[in-house]
Structure 1
Amino acid sequence: MAIGLAFGAIAAVFGAALYSLSGTTRFTPDACANVAAFLPAHIVGQDLALQQLVDAVCEHVLPDSQRGGGGGGGGGGAVRVAAQARKPLIISVHGPPGVGKTYTHTLLARALYNRDAAGVVECPGADCRGA
């Protein structure tokens, strides 16, 4: 019985530690503005690609009331946009190794989920100091 209690206590501590280390699943209130300012400040020479990425992300995170029209055709366009907003946004980026695909997505995640995109930790590894 003591072994079971010890195992339960260890599991509870481990679960609490994992929960405290997990981030948020909600975007920051000004996520679109963060993305539009943060990505071009850290990535140079990719203006067209960054603009397309910012447009896609902003279209996804903005509420239905702030989005552009319903997309062409007759009635029901707004319903399609509202239904699509519940789906995850999938961005497929292609290129050879070392061109910045992972770096761009890391910056995008920082801009979307951090409260202060300018105050993020510069290195994401275990040897980083700070938050």
Structure 2
Amino acid sequence: MSLFSRLLSGGRGLTLRQNLGAYRKPDGDVSPLYVFFDVENPGPESATVTAVRVSPKGEPVPLAPENLEGDLPARLAPGESVCFRVRAKALARAAREAGHTGRPKLTFVATDAQDAEHRHGFRLRVDEYLELKDE
């Protein structure tokens, strides 16, 4: 959704973010490296996330949608957010299998109940993440 569209619609839209991280597992070990994708509803009304995907920038075909962990559909009250995640190494492997190496530009896309797509671009360190010894 463009800035102009958001202004006309009263500022409605989803805010997307991406970051890397790990977490402590119940047994005390640290998890492998994950790519986390946050979808926040900053608007005044509830919103529903119906689909998510990661695609190479400018390409509609997802790299590997089955790798994204998270519950869909996700209904978000104003101010609420939901997080999706994928192992960094799994996403890097899918990118390489699609012919991408180095630091390709990827796009995280979240689709809402009105079929509007919200996008967040980022770069993935394919070669570095494939060398991780987390498996």
TM-score range, shorter chain: under 0.3
TM-score by length of 2: 0.22
Choose between structure 1 and 2: higher strand proportion. 2
**With CA pairs under 8 Å and 6+ residues apart, which has the higher RCO, 1 or 2?**
1
User: Considering only CA atoms, is the larger Rg found in Structure 1 or Structure 2?
Assistant: 1
Hey, which of these two has a bigger chunk of helix by percent? Answer: 1
User: So what's the TM-score if we normalise by structure 1?
Assistant: 0.22
